[in-house]
């Protein structure tokens, strides 16, 4: 076991290269290229040349608008898929619950709740409340799956966008033909599974969807568990 100067601990692992880039989410390696999804906008996805493992170098980087979170990436052949999700989704969800939570606490306490009590019930800090209310008032309409051609890793080219709903796409997988995405969809509570045919990358098509009983609220289903999102 070894401990580096920055305190990192490794067992039977030796670092042979390093690249200083914004915080990474998912990393996929195909051939001599690594595809890195970043956590925070404006950083979206970076394509890195790892043909020389001791000297990785960035070939191109996609940027996202400040409201978009794009931390997942999948690649097959010349096709790269990345997610688009509301970066402030947790604040949006928390802010949306403020009115009902405040009303519940007022009924339970017999008085208006303090900011400390309200924040605790929402699992946030009191100083977070203004940001929650601001996020709840925002309109996010950019959620979905973006599809790129990366035949030229120096110039990734967007070929289509599969739009979803609400806070967008979170985790997903891709087998080269079908994308299996966890996403919000209109009329459903929380994330559901949607399978998208990407056989023609310029025209992605939904082929099926799956959800837990109770999630299809537009179809009259009723939630029967404690989920709040």
**E runs forming strands in 100-153:** 144-149
Structure tokens belonging to residue 138 = 């925002």
Residue 162 class from Cβ within 10 Å (0-12 exposed, 13-18 middle, 19+ buried)?
buried
Q: What is the CATH number of the domain that holds 59?
A: 1.10.10.10
Query: Does residue 220 fall inside a structural domain?
Result: no
**What 8-state DSSP symbol labels residue 154?**
T
**Banded pLDDT at 136 (limits 50, 70, 90):** confident
Alpha-carbon distance 227 to 216, whole Å?
14
Give me the number of domains the chain comprises. Answer: 1
Supply the range of the domain harboring residue 52: 22-176
What does pTM read for this prediction? 0.87
Per-residue pLDDT reduced to its tens digit, 96-126 = 999 999 999 999 999 999 999 999 999 999 9
Contact 189, 151 (CB under 8 A): no
Query: Does residue 157 fall inside a structural domain?
Result: yes
Q: Considering just the CA atoms, what is the radius of gyration of the chain in Å?
A: 21
């Amino acid at each position: 076991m070894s401990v580096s100067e920055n305190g990192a601990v490794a067992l039977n692992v030796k670092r042979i290269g390093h690249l200083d880039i914004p915080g990474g989410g998912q990393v996929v390696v195909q051939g001599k290229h690594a595809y890195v999804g970043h956590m925070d906008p404006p950083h979206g996805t970076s394509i890195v040349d790892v043909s020389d493992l001791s000297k990785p170098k960035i070939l191109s980087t996609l940027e996202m608008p400040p409201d978009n979170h794009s931390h997942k990436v999948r690649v097959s052949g010349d096709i790269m898929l990345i997610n688009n999700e509301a970066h402030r989704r947790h604040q949006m969800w928390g802010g949306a619950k403020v009115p009902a939570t405040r009303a519940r606490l007022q009924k339970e306490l017999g008085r208006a709740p303090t900011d400390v009590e309200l924040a605790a019930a929402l699992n946030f800090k009191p100083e977070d409340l203004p940001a929650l209310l601001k996020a709840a008032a925002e309109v996010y309409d950019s959620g979905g799956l973006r599809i790129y051609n990366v035949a030229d890793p120096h110039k990734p080219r967007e070929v289509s966008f599969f739009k979803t709903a609400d806070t967008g796409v979170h985790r997903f997988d891709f087998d080269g033909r079908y994308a299996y995405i966890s996403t919000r969809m209109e009329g459903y509570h929380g994330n559901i599974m949607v399978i998208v045919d990407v056989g023609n990358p310029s025209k992605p098509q939904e082929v099926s969807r799956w959800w837990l009983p109770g999630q299809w609220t537009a179809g009259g289903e009723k939630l029967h568990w404690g989920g709040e999102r």
